Each structure stands twice: as C-alpha cells, then as structure tokens.
Amino acid sequence: MAPTSVPPAKEALPRHVAIIMDGNGRWARKRHLPRAAGHVAGVAAVRAVVRAAVDIGLENLTLYAFSSENWKRPHPEVSHLMGLFRAYFREDVTELAERNVHMRIIGNRSRAADDILAMIEDGERRTSVNTGLNLTFAFDYGAQEEIAAAAREMAREAARGELDPEIVTPQYFATRLLTHGIPDPDLVIRTSGERRLSNFLLWQSAYAEFAFVDTLWPDFSRAEFFEVLQAYALRERRFGTVAPEAVA
C-alpha cells in the first residue's frame, strides 16, 4: 500500500516529533555511491520533512543531525558533514525565517568551528521571534553527556550551598536539560530499520511512542511522514495508567 499523502487532523498531531535520521550511508552503498552522496540526499529529506511539518502546523520537530559520537567517523566524512551544515545554514535559514519557523540548536557548542558557531547563533537570532514550528537540531549532541552535565552543575551548586538537593525532582531536573522550554517528544521516529535510541533524548523520551521504519532516511518522504503520523493518531497513550474500560 502506498503511503498516504494526507496528514491526520491537527488536533490528532503529536505536540513534538523527534526523528533519528539514519541510513544515509546504506542509501549510498546500495547505489554504489560514496557515503558523501548519501549525506547530500539526506539534507534533501530534511528539507522535505521540515516543509511538511510547517504545512500541517506541527508545533515541535527535533532532528538528530550529528551525535557526539559522530566525531569518531573518518575525518573526510566529518569534514563533508560540516560542509553540509554550513551550506544548510547559508541556504535554508532565510526560508525558515520567512515561514515563521523558530530554530534552535542543542548540543555541545564548544567543539564546533567558529564559523559554524556563528552561523548557528545567527540562525537562532534571525528566527527567535517566530511563532510557528519550533525546529530543533541536535548537533554534537549526546543524551548521556547532557544528563551528566546537568547533574554535575547541580552538584556544584549544592556544594556551594546554592541548591537544596531536596528540590531536585524529575520535573526540576528537566529544567536543567538542553531541551528546557520544549515539551518532551510524543513520538520518536527512527529510519533505516534500526531499533535503538543511539543516545538521543534518553530522559525526554521516557513516555514517547516509537516508530521504527525500514525506509532509509534519504527516501523518507512527506507521504511516509504523514503515514507515521496517522498511525500515531490511532495509538492509545496511558502514561502508566490503565484504560478507563479496564477499571470499570
């Protein structure tokens, strides 16, 4: 059956969709192309999904663009990825601003090149007043690193007598994460057939629904995105409780 081209009604949409964009390398290998070609095709898929999210009125979309572990990849591949990030910020931020998208980047900014950091800050500034889609890129991001950094900072504050450990609830801890101000993801999608989180939004995904699709990221279309959203709309979310009929 072909994917539907019709999204669910806006009231049935998740508030926040997070996507692990996986499969660029395998997409290229299947076509006997260099891995770099897969990453280029992956950027086209990013544009298609972001535009679809804007068109249907999705509130929040987070994309796993580059993990803290991705620095371990061969230097030529990392350099190519950095070049793609530069090109995206140069070419797409104007469209995002015009389409009322509010862009933000989460991750460890200390390792980014100075020009990329400047592009990130410029893009966030240019879209800061927008009120449409909240688009978050997880760039040089690792959830374990994020959680450890938050715990470390709170420990320092407690040692200085600036923080009472008794106030540290799960709700308070969440305010110290990079995603503060963004609702936790309702739906996490991973492409390419892999079924793991790969250090992505581990804390925030405690009650997320998951959709693992076999499609490689460059082939993940607007229509398939809508199909996944339609399937989400049919799920019953209980957050640890039971369905009403089960207690009747």
**Number of C-beta neighbours around residue 57 at 10 A:** 11
Residue 40 domain flag:
yes
Please give the backbone phi and psi of residue 43, each rounded to the nearest 5 degrees, phi first: -65, -40
**Is 67 in contact with 200 (CB distance < 8 Å)?**
yes
In this structure, what CATH number is given to the domain that contains residue 98? 3.40.1180.10
Total domains, the chain: 1
pTM of the predicted protein model: 0.93
From the list 142, 164, 144, the residue with the least C-alpha distance to 154 is 164
* pLDDT at residue 2 greater than cutoff 60: no
Identity of the amino acid at 100 = N
Averaged confidence pLDDT in the chain = 94
Q: Is 24 a catalytic residue?
A: no
Q: Is residue 32 part of a domain?
A: yes
CA 114 to chain centroid: 23
**Residues β-bridged to residue 190:** 20, 212
Residue type present at position 107? G
Mean pLDDT of the 141-151 span:
98
Two tokens, residue 39: 């990453």
Q: Give pLDDT tens digits for 92-144.
A: 999 999 999 999 999 999 999 999 999 999 999 999 999 999 999 999 999 99
Whether residue 6 is contained in a domain is answered as: no
* pLDDT above 90: residue 41: yes
In the predicted structure, residue 248 carries a pLDDT above the cut 80: no
Burial of 137 (0-12, 13-18, 19+ CB in 10 A): buried
The answer to whether position 109 is within a domain reads: yes
Instruction: Identify the residue whose tokens are 């999705």.
Output: 58
Unique residue bearing structure tokens 């104007």: 94
In whole angstroms, give the CA distance from residue 238 to residue 244. Answer: 10
- Residue with tokens 């980014």, as numbered in its chain: 112
Instruction: Provide the pLDDT for residue 122.
Output: 96
Q: Is the residue at 135 inside a domain?
A: yes
Going by pLDDT thresholds of 50, 70 and 90, the confidence category of residue 237 is: confident
**Whether 199 is catalytic:** no
Report d(CA 234, CA 169) in Å as an integer: 32
Rounded to 10 degrees, what is the CA torsion of 55, 58, 59, 61? Answer: -100
Inform me whether the pLDDT recorded for 79 exceeds 70.
yes
Q: Considering the domain boundaries, does residue 168 fall inside one?
A: yes
- Per-residue confidence band for 242, with pLDDT thresholds at 50, 70 and 90: low
The pLDDT assigned to 238 comes to 67
Domain that holds residue 161: 16-234
Assess if residue 2 is contained within a domain: no
Distance CA 206, CA 220 (A): 25
For residue 1, pLDDT over 50 is answered with no
- Decide if 196 is inside a domain: yes
Q: Supply φ then ψ for residue 194, to 5 degrees.
A: -75, 150
Residue 17, pLDDT score: 98
Average pLDDT, stretch 164-187?
97
CB 208 within 8 A of CB 143: no
**CB 36, CB 207: distance < 8 Å:** no
Catalytic residue among 22, 24, 134, 199: 22
Q: How many residues does the chain have?
A: 248
Q: Is the per-residue pLDDT at 53 higher than 80?
A: yes
* pLDDT of res. 5: 72
Give the active site residue among 55, 60, 70, 214: 70
